[in-house]
Amino acid sequence: MASAQEAAEAAARSDVRNRWLLSAPALLIIFFAAVGPLFIMLAYSFMAKGDYGDVKFGQFSLDGWFSVLFERDIFDDTLSLADANLSVFWRSLKLSVMTTAVTLFLGFPTAYFIATRPPEKRETWLFLITIPFWTNLLIRTFAMQEVIRNEGILNSVLLALGVIDRPIQIMFTDTAILFGMVYVYLPLMVLPLYAAMDKLDFRLVEAGYDLYATRFRVLWRIIIPLVKPGIIAGSILVFVPSLGAYVIPRVLGGGKNMMLGNYIELQFGQGRNWPLGAAISITLMAVVMVALLFYVRSATRGEAGREG
């Protein structure tokens, strides 16, 4: 009996060892291609700024992290909040939250519409939703530019209808960036919502109507709680790339309405302040990690609630 148990334990240890050996190449690639550069950024954030846009290796400094929120006056060396940095942080957070909210507002009824179609027609609707992914992000951004510029489709239609007497200036504003991000990231909201609604037992919806519940109460008390994992997943999938967006603010914002992605690139380029750029990059990653942890905790709590 003891020998059989020892043999089983040895087989289990051998199986675990074989799994680690088989996973080792992938783990090494992940470490050197993903985790390694993050460690480099973390190290750069604690180094002194170089004279020509690099860092002074071996010279420890907290100036990069200090400059994320504060700045010193060049004349009297007094401390003050870094208004430019905080402005970029606030714009990035504001536009990311607004993008998430608008895509949820538009994506929820879209996903519900697809989920309630006959099974043989759902693939066609999903195909139409995923078509934008076939096109390069830069091309899609320029397409949105052709829609909202002064001589674009939107202004031309409004002028032809007599709604406005002169073009509305949308380009190079926060509104233009919002339009672009909603257009680009909307499919990332629709697909998780559809995946959650596709598993929804619509007999519960019918039961709610049979109990004389209004449409709003059925939506609020039955549909939304059941598709909450899809709402959280879609919100994370939209919020995370929106927070670090680079191409859309660069093209539609004109370079002056910067977000975090543009500001980081500026520090590594024209700003020649690599420690500050690295510190902001790590800060952005920390915000993303908090969002992902929120998603994991919410999803785990939702699974536990359903099992209970």
Which sequence spans correspond to the domains of the chain? 81-307
pLDDT at 307: 55
Verdict on whether the full-model pTM lies above 0.75? yes
Given a contact cutoff of 8 angstroms between Cβ atoms, the answer to whether 252 and 176 are in contact is yes
Q: Name the token pair of 244.
A: 């670090």
For 80, 102, 164, 244, 253, the CA distances from 180, given in Å and listed in that order, are 34, 12, 22, 14, 10
Residues in the chain: 308
SS3 214: coil
- The end-to-end CA distance of the chain, in Å, is 39
10-residue mean pLDDT profile of the chain (308 residues): values are: 72 84 88 85 92 85 90 81 90 94 95 90 90 88 92 92 90 93 94 91 85 87 89 90 92 87 91 91 88 74 58
Question: What's the CATH superfamily of 81-307?
Answer: MetI-like (1.10.3720.10)
Q: Name the token pair of 270.
A: 């024209």
* CA proximity to 82, closest of 267, 288, 285: 267
Sorted by sequence, the CB contacts under 8 Å of residue 2 that are 6+ apart come out as: none
Q: Name the token pair of 280.
A: 């902001």
Euclidean distance between CA atoms 301 and 286, whole angstroms: 22
Euclidean distance between CA atoms 130 and 65, whole angstroms: 40
One DSSP character per residue, 250-268 reads HHHSTTTS--HHHHHHHHH
Given a contact cutoff of 8 angstroms between Cβ atoms, the answer to whether 71 and 273 are in contact is no
Sorted by sequence, the CB contacts under 8 Å of residue 62 that are 6+ apart come out as: 46
